[in-house]
Each structure stands twice: as C-alpha cells, then as structure tokens.
C-alpha cells in the first residue's frame, strides 16, 4: 500500500493536523507523526489512511482515481468573464479616514465615465463575457451616476441569460430614484457599517446627524427589501476594536445576520493615516474572541449569526468549492472570469490592483476599454497566479484551500518574492485556517451547532473530523 505525501502542522488546541494535495485531512498525535516520518506506520495506520483517502493499493484503482478527482475538483479552471466591477465615478459624498481608492470630491470634474466610455465599457463586456454576468458597481459613490447604472443594468438584462447587480453604496444620501433602482430582485445592496454606531461615526460620518441618517437608510433598506438583499461589512482599526458582543448586537438590531470582518486595508489614504503592524497577531486574537462571541450568540438565538470569512473557509475545506473569493482560489487566473473597469476606462485584474495604481506605487492596469487587454503585461502577471510552484506553499498543510495575494505583497513590501511565511497574507490565513479547523474538530456542542448551521446541514457526520485516534 502506498501513502500520498502528507503535510502537517501543530494545532494550537493540541494534536497534529495532516493534509494531502487533494484537500483531505485528519488530526492525529505526535506518535503518529513520528511513525509517519520514520516510515514505521502500523497496519492500523495504513487501514485508517486507506479509509480516509490518503492511501491506495494500485495505480488507477478506485482510491487512486478518487484522490485524483478530489484534487481536480479543487483546481480553479479558467472561465469566461462572469464578474465585473465597474467604477463609473470616483467622486464621493463622504471622506472616510481609511479610504482605499483615493476618492475625488463630489463636485470634482473629470472623474466620471464619458458617454463614449460607457459605450466602450458595454461593448467590451459584450465581447468578453459568457452567458451570465454579475456586476458590482463601485466608486467613489456609484449612486452619484445612477444614469449609468441604469444603462448598464438595462444592457445586461437584455444581453445575458442571468444577470445580477450589487450596488456598493455608503447609504448616506439616497434619493427616491435610487431607492426605486435598488428595489428589483436582481439588484442587491452592499454597504459599510463599521461595527457599532459609535465606531461608524468615528471613522465615517463624523457627527451624530449623519450617523442617524445612515442608520435610518440602513433600516429602510433591510425592512423594505429584506435582509437577504442587504449586506454590510465593517472596516476596523486593530488599534481601536469594538467589543464583539456590541458588534453582533448592532448588526442584528438592523436585521443583519452575517458579517465579514475586515481590517483597515493597506491601500489608498489608509497607508498614510494608520499604523500597520506586519504581524497580524492582534487581529487574530480579536477574531478568536469574535468567533467565540458568535458561538455564544448562536446558542441562544433562533436565527444564526455568521462570520462570513471563517464560514467560507470551513465550506471551502469541507466541500472543495467556493472560488468566488479571488485571494483563495488557485490558480487565480487574472482578468479571465473577473475584471475591474475604473472611472477612466482602464482595466485591472483586481480591485486591489486598481488601488495600488491609484496611489502611484506601480501601474497594474492591464488594458483599456478603448483598446482591449495588454496580453503581454497580463501574461507576466499570470505567471504568479498559482501556489503550486511556491516553495513555501508546497510544504503548507493549508495549500489546497488557500491562494496567493501578490497585490497585497506589492502594496506592503513592493515585491512579490518575500518568503511566504513572512507575508501578512500568509500569517493571517494560517491563523484563520487554524480557527476553522479548531471549529471543525471542536467537541463543544455550541461550536458544532454553529458549524452545522453555517453549512446548512441537518447534522454533522463523524467523518467531518477524521482521526485515527
């Protein structure tokens, strides 16, 4: 019997986590690790590995083919354009302290799509996209150009079999025409709510009158359209973090039962105004406290509350799916199924690439809607789309679930060849995957119930947490 190569990592809660290239995993002890390393696995060990999919007897037997199928299922294959971020204006009616894209004042000129830009953008999407499309409108404050949003939506509804629209808005000044635009079932709202009203006021609205206006609009959105059409996420300063319990209470008070915890991004104006620690330890400690608070909340509430990113990691581990989050998919093919068109018509492989270019660090644009893609430049970036060849990722137990974030590396370090364990992306995600696996292996009933609810499962089978012990 032959055993597939295994990677391993000590778990903070005890035990050793083992993983293979296909995303299969199990938790064992130091004695098992010693037997594996020294080539002295017992017959019982081999039996477990065979049952768990980490061993096979002959080439092309059922266990071999099953492993290959699981490995292939995790590969992110190139697909036609299906998701596009459009920034028809860079103008904004707010001046948030951590703005990531260097917004322009609301009254500024030359920061909007022209008529020709709009025509060329729709033409480029028409030529490039497949049968279905998801459009995310960003800015600036995209509702300042409601006329362009309406034209894009009308075009997509007629061009594509399925179309969906997400309006990223600060919900600060919403006209009745905008409320009407947001009402249809295919149109969703994504907004920022920085944890609690007090923290939101500190970083965004700056005074109680503006805070109350935002909260009133948020409540109108969730009550008029239902919470399923509205998502909100905070941007939090690791040096001034709100209580997890207060954040959960604030979100649920406005009908929001999911949150995507985010630190202030190392982009845009925030680079100059906030202190960035290279070690995300403080953020991870907060994350742990937040997840613990979510578990406690869910043990008492009929409606489960979700921290989206940890829930996404758990689903990605268990189901081998979830390539919508570009920083985790592998390979992360750039400008294939996902692209960004900025206010000036330039095309970017990601929103982070747009931010880096905006502050003048490096030009990461890959084309223009007038002239198309720069294939030479795109292919140069494409060479670093996968973690398969990365010498550090090759030894990491989390490799099958994770991806590279070269744009964050460029933003923080000005280069992409920093040893992976020294990067913020790697250190952060090692900690987050630790949390995810601790929840998967937890024997605490409240934690298991939270995982079950996040998965939408009737129960958690025993093979969710395999172990030879």
Cα separation of 451 and 459, whole Å?
10
Number of Cβ atoms within 10 Å of the Cβ of 279? 11
Regarding beta strands 104-105 and 129-137, do their DSSP bridges make them parallel or antiparallel, or are they unpaired? Answer: unpaired
Q: What is the DSSP letter of 342?
A: -
Give dist(CA 309, CA 283) in Å, integer: 14
Is 141 exposed, middle or buried, given 0-12, 13-18 or 19+ CB atoms closer than 10 A? buried
Digitized pLDDT (tens) for each residue of the chain, 469 residues in all: 999 999 999 999 999 999 999 999 999 999 999 999 999 999 999 999 999 999 999 999 999 999 999 999 999 999 999 999 999 999 999 888 777 566 788 999 999 999 999 999 999 999 999 999 999 999 999 999 999 999 999 999 999 999 999 999 999 999 999 999 999 999 999 999 999 999 999 989 999 999 999 999 999 999 999 989 999 999 998 888 999 999 999 999 999 999 999 998 766 555 555 565 556 899 999 999 999 999 999 999 999 999 999 999 999 999 987 788 888 999 999 999 999 999 999 999 999 899 889 888 899 999 999 999 999 999 988 888 899 989 999 999 999 999 999 999 998 889 999 999 999 999 999 999 999 999 999 999 999 999 999 999 999 998 899 999 9
The C-alpha atoms of residue 26 and residue 17 are separated, in whole angstroms, by: 6
Q: 148 is written with which tokens?
A: 């362009």
The CA distance from 330 to 385, in Å, is 7
Q: How far apart are CA 188 and CA 165, in angstroms?
A: 6
Determine the straight-line distance between the first and last CA of the chain, rounded to whole angstroms.
20
Placement of tokens 């500024």 in the chain: 108
DSSP 420: G
Q: What φ, ψ does residue 228 adopt, rounded to 5°?
A: -70, -20
Burial label for 272, CB within 10 Å (0-12, 13-18, 19+), is: exposed
Is residue 431 within 8 Å of residue 425, measured between CB atoms? no
CA–CA distance, 356 with 350 (Å, rounded to integer): 10
CA atoms within a 13 Å half-sphere pointing along the CA-CB vector of 66: 14
């Amino acid at each position: 019997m032959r055993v597939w190569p295994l990677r391993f990592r000590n778990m903070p809660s005890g035990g050793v986590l083992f993983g293979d290239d296909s995303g299969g995993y199990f938790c064992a002890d130091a004695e098992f690790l010693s037997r594996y390393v020294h080539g002295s696995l017992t017959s019982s060990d081999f039996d477990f590995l065979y049952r768990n999919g980490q061993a096979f007897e002959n080439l092309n037997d059922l266990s071999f083919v099953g492993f290959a199928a699981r490995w292939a299922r995790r590969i992110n294959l190139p697909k036609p354009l299906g998701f596009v971020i459009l920034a028809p204006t860079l103008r904004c009616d707010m001046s948030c302290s951590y703005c990531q894209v260097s917004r322009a004042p609301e009254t500024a000129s030359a920061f909007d799509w022209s008529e020709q830009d709009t025509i060329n953008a729709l033409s480029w999407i028409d030529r490039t996209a497949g049968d279905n499309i998801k459009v995310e409108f960003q800015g600036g404050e995209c509702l300042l150009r409601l006329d362009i949003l309406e034209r894009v939506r009308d075009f997509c509804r007629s061009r594509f079999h399925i179309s969906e629209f997400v309006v990223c808005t600060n919900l600060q000044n919403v006209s009745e025409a905008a409320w009407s635009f947001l009402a249809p079932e295919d149109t969703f709202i994504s907004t920022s709510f920085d944890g609690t009203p007090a923290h939101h006021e500190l970083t965004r609205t700056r005074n109680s009158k503006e805070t109350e206006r935002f909260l009133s609009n948020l409540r109108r959105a969730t009550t008029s359209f239902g919470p399923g059409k509205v998502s909100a996420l905070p941007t939090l300063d690791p040096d001034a973090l709100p209580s997890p319990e207060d954040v959960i209470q604030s979100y649920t008070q406005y009908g929001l039962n999911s949150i995507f915890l985010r630190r202030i991004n190392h982009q845009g104006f925030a680079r100059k105004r906030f202190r960035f620690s290279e070690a995300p330890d403080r953020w991870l400690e907060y994350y742990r406290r937040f997840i613990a608070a979510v578990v406690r909340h869910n043990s008492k509430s009929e409606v489960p509350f979700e921290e989206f990113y940890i829930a996404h990691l758990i689903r990605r581990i268990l189901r081998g799916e979830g390539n919508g989050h570009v920083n985790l998919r592998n390979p992360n093919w750039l400008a294939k199924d996902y692209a960004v068109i900025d206010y000036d018509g330039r095309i970017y492989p990601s929103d982070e690439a747009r931010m880096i270019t905006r502050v003048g660090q490096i030009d990461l644009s890959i084309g223009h809607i007038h002239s198309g893609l720069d294939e030479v430049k795109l292919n140069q970036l494409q060479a670093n789309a996968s973690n398969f060849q990365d010498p550090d990722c090759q030894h990491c137990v989390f490799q099958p679930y994770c991806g590279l974030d070269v744009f964050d590396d460029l933003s923080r370090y000005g280069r992409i060849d920093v040893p992976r364990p020294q990067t913020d992306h790697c250190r952060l995600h090692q900690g987050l995957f630790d949390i995810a696996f601790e929840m998967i292996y937890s024997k605490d009933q409240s934690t298991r119930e939270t995982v079950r609810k996040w998965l939408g499962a009737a129960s958690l089978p025993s093979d969710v947490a395999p172990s030879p012990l």
